[in-house]
Structure 1
Amino acid sequence: MSTLTAIALTTGILSGLWGWIAVSLGLLAWAGFLGCTSYFASPRDGVRGLIESLVTNLTGVCWALVIIASSQYAALDIVGYIITGLVSFFMCVQAKKSWLSYIPGTFIGCGATFAASGNWQLVIPSLLFGGVFGYLMKSSGLWLAQRKKQSPVNASKQVVNRS
């Protein structure tokens, strides 16, 4: 079994499980899939990649709340757009810190918060659970692929193929 097939298999199974858990807990399934996507797209693997994607997702939620709160005081729409531009600038500048260097994760958290009309109480747990599910999808797929490569059946096929 190829690594891609193994990851696809575990991702499919865990995606269905996530959908059920999200509905059961009243979470936003789509925001969880954004958290999952954030981990999969992260430049780092493993626990560090998970932590960095989650931390940047959470900062994105905070930045969205800053934009939403600040824009409420803007009398003209153009002021809200200027605020959005300034905050987006700072969302990128925060990448100077290594743990905040995953800029797409920040924008994913921000976008999820906008899509949920600022309901951060639902967005945060949805992103967090989703990120963990993304980690589990990939790590279990890698584990399954490695296990299939080391199985006795595959080992005997390799010996026969070398003959």
Structure 2
Amino acid sequence: MKQYVGVGMSVGVLAGIWTQVSIDLGLVTWVAFIAWACFFAAGGGATGFSKGLAANLSGVVYGWLVGTVAGAVPLPGVLAVAIAVAALGMCLQAGWAPLSFIPGAFAGTAAYFGTALNFWGTLAALIIGAALGWLSAVLGSRIQSVVSRRAVTKAAGEETRPAAA
């Protein structure tokens, strides 16, 4: 039995619920999916949650700093320089274990830019997405154990059944 059945089922159900709830509440639906993906990409579990979310949130701060500098300094090329410095910072921060998931920082910055600099909306959606990642992993594991147990029981029952004459 494939080990992704449980997580696939939990992600599918939770993704549908999140989409409807986020639309009803006016939350940024797609940003949560970024954090959700970062949870799994960073390894899942406690490590994926902490590294993915910390990196995502740091990325939002980098994006905010870039926007602030670019808005305050009316010189040609300031946006490019601010982006270059932020990109350097997002890579260098990986030397500190809690922020060592570089793609998460870039994802957080991109999400912030993609929401047209909606700081609080981006933060809320990233936090919710990380929580959904954790929840989908926990539920997925439980579903997988039920599915696997049934598959083993079914396979054992087929092996012990007398052959048809």
Find the counterpart in structure 2 of residue 157 from structure 1.
155
Counterpart in the other structure of 1:10 = 10
Aligned residues: 161
Kindly provide the CA deviation profile for residues 45-65 of structure 1, in whole angstroms up to 9, marking residues without a partner as x.
212211211111111110000
CA distance in 1, matches of 2:66, 2:124: 21
After superposition, the Cα gap between the structure-2 partners of 1:146 and 1:81, relative to the gap in structure 1 and judged at 3 Å, is: same
- Tell me the distance in 1 between the aligned counterparts of 2:5 and 2:67: 42
Structure 2 distance, partners of 1:105, 1:116, is 16
Choose 153-162 or 140-149, whichever is displaced more: 153-162
Q: Which has the larger radius of gyration?
A: 2
2:116 equivalent to 1:117: yes
Give 1:77's aligned residue: 76
Residues 1:162 and 1:71: Cα distance change in structure 2 (over 3 Å): farther
User: 1:29 maps to which residue?
Assistant: 29
Over aligned residue pairs, what C-alpha RMSD do you find?
Answer: 1.8
- Cα distance between partner residues in 2 of 1:60 and 1:162: 57
* Separation of aligned partners in 2, 1:13 and 1:77: 48
Task: Name the counterpart of 1:139.
Answer: 138
Task: Give identity over the alignment, percent.
Answer: 25
Of residues 126-135 and 75-84 in structure 1, the stretch that sits farther from structure 2 once superposed is 75-84
Cα distance in 1 for partners of 2:82, 2:154 equals 64
- The correspondence of residues 48-87 of structure 1 with structure 2, limited to 5 A, is 48-87=47-86
Matched residues in 1 for 2:160 and 2:85: separation?
62
TM-score with structure 2 length normalisation? 0.89
CA distance in 2, matches of 1:5, 1:156: 17
Q: Report the residue type matching 1:125 in the other structure.
A: A
CA contact (8 A) 1:74 1:80 kept: no
Measure, in 2, the Cα distance between the counterparts of 1:37 and 1:130.
8
Could you tell me which amino acid in structure 2 is paired with residue 5 of structure 1? V
- 2:136 counterpart letter in structure 1: M
Consecutive unaligned residues of structure 1, counting only runs of 5 or more, are: none
Please, what TM-score do these two structures have when normalized by structure 1? 0.90
Runs of 4+ in structure 1 off by over 6 angstroms are none
How far apart are residue 39 of structure 1 and its match?
Answer: 0.8
- Cα distance in 1 for partners of 2:48, 2:54 equals 10
Q: CA deviation at 1:157?
A: 2.3
Using the alignment, how far apart are the partners of 1:66 and 1:110 within structure 2?
A: 10
Which amino acid in 2 is paired with 1:63? Y
